[in-house]
């Protein structure tokens, strides 16, 4: 007797913008045997139509997902009866959909950061404990081969007990600037880069250490972007969008130049007035671009962390000091940025070995990752990083298999829960409080269950 064909699980996708494409390609194509899209919820009909078209092109036999406005969420659940939701809205809106879905005992797949404030974090924890539905946090950086390797070396005890971590993250003037063009520029929407962006990095440290934060001290400032720096860049702060900047201005982007950008953003603008290319030196920026932090952990480790969003190259440097040695991971994602370049996010490219030949021969900072392990009394060795292909170094593909496919064995514990989401968001939330008060924040005082 042959085994019955599994019935695909039915997903509603909430927030059909840029990031939802990765999930929709999985649901309509690579993982359609296990999971399919049945409904979209988004205030913007143009963006929903873009994805209705994409789904039809990938899987013509599939019924087109029905389309709903945000205020129709309850009606959508009653009419469509999905098994689960994927939440890819702006960060500050995640919690309302997570709680609403869990109230119906639906499973939730949610992008980082899980949320942006302590009150929303507490509401998620309460709903998660009451519901029969589950939350899967999609921390794709865990799946990147180099980051997974650090986890394995630490878990194998190669450097003994980790006592401190130094973590420096550099965003360049292309990718970094992009946070100041979109909704991310408003702290109300993104929580600031300490939550929106650094939640990836804090999750990595929490996961590498298998530990939870206890105290956070943070300094943050806006030293480069924002209307207050417009004159230094010869830009008019009254210009609302980058379209109004001089043609040769390196911070101008052309939404019409790219087919996807044009359809998903420029043509969608008429529906909600949202401009995806706001002037990075315009009014209304409320997030920091320069962050420095000190985080204490339950088991005694200390993390020093910094983020700059206007560096001349993009990548990160991590050092983990342990009682038996040290690990250093140096990652160059983009060695330099030329003023006329238009590609925004280098991390979406393949991870290693992807430097083009010309660049590799003349560039003193070639695009590559190096992981060094040095045990006490020994010489340093370079540990080879397995090659990853595709978005976020192959991490996106592996993550999708875990979320929608048949879950593989998970010896490194890469699959993340709501508690992992809250642990990483809590550091950013505490950092915000520390910047506001000028004091060290006791994470437990936020009342977030970690
Ligand atoms: N893990 C990663 O590497 C990664 C990469 C990019 C984005 N993200 C995350 O994905 C999420 C979405 O980011 P994005 O870049 O796609 O942003 P986006 O602006 O491109 O898309 C957001 C979508 O949400 C919609 N939306 C706005 N208000 C809504 C509401 N009330 N209800 C439902 N939908 C609403 C918008 O119309 C838009 O279509 C964010 O949480 C972001 O942090 C993660």
Q: pLDDT tens digit string along 377-430?
A: 999 999 999 877 777 767 788 899 999 988 778 999 999 999 999 999 999 999
The pLDDT confidence band at residue 357, using thresholds 50, 70 and 90, is very low
Write the pLDDT tens digit of every residue in 259-288.
999 999 999 999 999 999 999 999 999 999
Write the pLDDT tens digit of every residue in 113-128.
999 999 999 999 999 9
pLDDT at residue 398 in the model: 85
Nearest atom (ligand 1) to Cα of 16: 39
CATH architecture observed for domain 9-139? 3-Layer(aba) Sandwich (3.40)
- 391 CA → ligand 1 middle, Å: 17
The pLDDT confidence band at residue 358, using thresholds 50, 70 and 90, is very low
Quickly count: other Cβ atoms within 10 Å of residue 122's Cβ.
17
In the chain, what percentage of residues exceed pLDDT 70? 95
Which of 49, 70, 88 to mutate to test ligand 1, by most ligand atoms within 8 A of the CB atom? Answer: 88
Nearest atom (ligand 1) to Cα of 91: 41
In whole angstroms, how large is the CA radius of gyration of the chain?
Answer: 22
Q: Measured at the alpha carbon of residue 89, what is the angle toward residues 93 and 9, in degrees to the nearest 5?
A: 110
Please, what sign has the CA dihedral across residues 289, 14, 110, 352?
negative
Do the domains 141-225+285-388+418-446 and 9-139 match in fold? no
Nearest atom (ligand 1) to Cα of 48: 39
The pairing of strands 135-138 and 9-14 is: unpaired
Average predicted confidence (pLDDT) for the chain: 94
Residue with tokens 């979109």: 182
Which of 17, 39, 51, 202 to mutate to test ligand 1, by most ligand atoms within 8 A of the CB atom? Answer: 17
Average pLDDT over residues 210-229: 98
Which of 49, 90, 92, 198 to mutate to test ligand 1, by most ligand atoms within 8 A of the CB atom? Answer: 90
pTM of the model: 0.95
Average pLDDT over residues 28-37: 97
Name the residue with higher pLDDT: 341 or 293.
293
pLDDT at residue 349 in the model: 62
Side-chain-side CA neighbours of 228 within 13 Å: the count stands at 10
Nearest atom (ligand 1) to Cα of 44: 37
- 92 CA → ligand 1 middle, Å: 10
Give the Cα separation of 15 and 176 in Å (integer): 23
If you count them, how many residues does the chain have? Answer: 450
Write the pLDDT tens digit of every residue in 332-346.
999 999 988 877 777
Residue nearest (by alpha carbon) to ligand 1 atom 40 = 90
Nearest atom (ligand 1) to Cα of 140: 1
**143: buried, middle or exposed (CB in 10 Å: 19+, 13-18, 0-12)?**
buried
pLDDT at residue 217 in the model: 98
Phi and psi for 446 in degrees, rounded to 5? -75, -15
Ligand 1 binding residues, C-beta < 6 A: 14-19, 41-44, 47, 70, 88-91, 93, 111-112, 140, 183, 196
- 245 CA → ligand 1 middle, Å: 26
pLDDT at residue 362 in the model: 67
> Do residues 64 and 55 touch, judged by C-beta distance below 8 A?
yes
User: Assign residue 187 a region: left if phi > 0, alpha if psi is -120 to 50, beta otherwise?
Assistant: alpha
Domain boundaries, the chain: 9-139, 141-225+285-388+418-446, 227-272
* Three state DSSP letters for the chain: CCCCCCCCEEEEEECCCCCHHHHHHHHHHHCCCCEEEEEEECCCHHHHHHHHHHHHHHCCCCCCCEEECHHHHHHHHHHHCCCEEEECCCHHHHHHHHHHHHHCCCEEEEECCCCCCHHHHHHHHHHHHHCCCCEEEECHHHHCHHHHHHHHHHHCCCCCCEEEEEEEEEEECCHHHHCCCCHHHCHHHHCCHHHHCHHHHHHHHHHHHCCCEEEEEEEEECCCCCHHHCHHHCCCCCCCEHHHCCCCCCCCCCHHHCHHHHHHHHCCHHHHCCCCCECCCCCCCCCCCEEEEEEEECCCCEEEEEEEEEECCEEEEEEEEECCEEEEEEEEEECCCCCCCCCCCHHHCCCCCCCCHHHHHHCCCCCCEEEEEEECCCCCEECCCCCCCCHHHHHHHHHHHHHHCCCCCCCCCCCECHHHHHHHHHHHHHHHHHHHHCCCEEHHHHCCCC
- 91 CA → ligand 1 middle, Å: 7
Name the residue with higher pLDDT: 396 or 317.
317
Phi and psi for 9 in degrees, rounded to 5? -75, 150
- 395 CA → ligand 1 middle, Å: 19
- 189 CA → ligand 1 middle, Å: 10
Which of 15, 183, 275, 349 to mutate to test ligand 1, by most ligand atoms within 8 A of the CB atom? Answer: 15
- 232 CA → ligand 1 middle, Å: 31
Structural class in CATH, domain 141-225+285-388+418-446? alpha beta
| Residue 135 pLDDT exceeds 60 | yes
Which of 44, 89, 109, 204 to mutate to test ligand 1, by most ligand atoms within 8 A of the CB atom? Answer: 89
Q: Which two tokens stand for residue 52?
A: 């209705």
């Amino acid at each position: 007797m042959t085994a019955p064909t599994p019935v695909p699980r039915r997903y509603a996708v909430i927030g059909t913008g840029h990031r939802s494409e990765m999930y929709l390609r999985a649901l309509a194509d690579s993982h359609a045997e296990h999971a399919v899209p049945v409904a979209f919820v988004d205030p913007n009909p143009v963006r929903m139509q873009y994805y209705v078209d994409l789904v039809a092109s990938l899987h013509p036999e599939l019924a087109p997902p029905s389309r709903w406005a945000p205020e129709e969420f309850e009606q959508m659940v009653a009419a469509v009866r999905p098994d689960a939701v994927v939440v890819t809205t702006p960060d500050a809106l995640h919690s309302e959909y997570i709680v609403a879905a869990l109230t119906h005992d639906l499973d939730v797949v949610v992008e980082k950061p899980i949320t942006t404030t302590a009150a929303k974090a507490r509401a998620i924890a309460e709903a998660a404990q009451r519901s029969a539905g589950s939350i899967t946090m999609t921390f794709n950086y865990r799946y990147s081969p180099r980051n997974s390797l650090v986890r394995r070396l630490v878990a194998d005890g190669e450097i003994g007990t980790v006592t401190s971590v130094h973590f420096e993250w550099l965003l360049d003037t292309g990718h970094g600037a992009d946070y100041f063009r979109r909704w991310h520029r408003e702290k109300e929407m993104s929580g600031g880069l300490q939550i929106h962006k650094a939640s990836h990095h804090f999750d990595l440290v929490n996961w590498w250490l298998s530990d939870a934060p206890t105290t956070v001290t943070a300094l943050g400032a806006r030293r480069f972007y924002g209307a207050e720096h417009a004159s230094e860049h010869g830009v008019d702060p009254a210009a609302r969008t980058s379209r109004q900047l001089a043609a040769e201005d390196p911070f101008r982007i052309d939404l019409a130049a790219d087919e996807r950008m044009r359809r998903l953003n420029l043509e969608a603008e008429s529906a909600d007035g949202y401009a995806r290319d706001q002037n990075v030196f315009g009014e209304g920026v409320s997030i920091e671009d320069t962050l420095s932090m000190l985080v204490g952990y339950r088991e005694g480790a200390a993390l020093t962390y910094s983020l700059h969003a206007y560096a001349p190259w993009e990548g990160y440097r991590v050092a983990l000091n342990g009682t038996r040695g040290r690990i250093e991971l140096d990652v160059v994602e983009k060695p330099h940025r030329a003023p006329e370049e238009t590609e925004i996010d280098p991390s979406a490219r393949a991870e290693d070995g992807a430097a083009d030949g010309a660049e590799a021969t003349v560039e003193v900072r070639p695009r590559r990752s190096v992981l060094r392990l040095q045990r006490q009394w020994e010489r340093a060795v370079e540990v080879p990083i397995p090659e990853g292909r595709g978005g976020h170094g192959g991490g996106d593909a592996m993550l999708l298999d875990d979320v929608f496919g048949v879950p593989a064995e998970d010896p490194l514990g890469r699959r993340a829960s709501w508690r992992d989401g809250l642990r990483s968001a809590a550091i950013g939330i505490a950092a915000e409080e520390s910047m506001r008060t000028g004091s060290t924040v006791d994470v437990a005082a936020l009342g977030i269950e970690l």
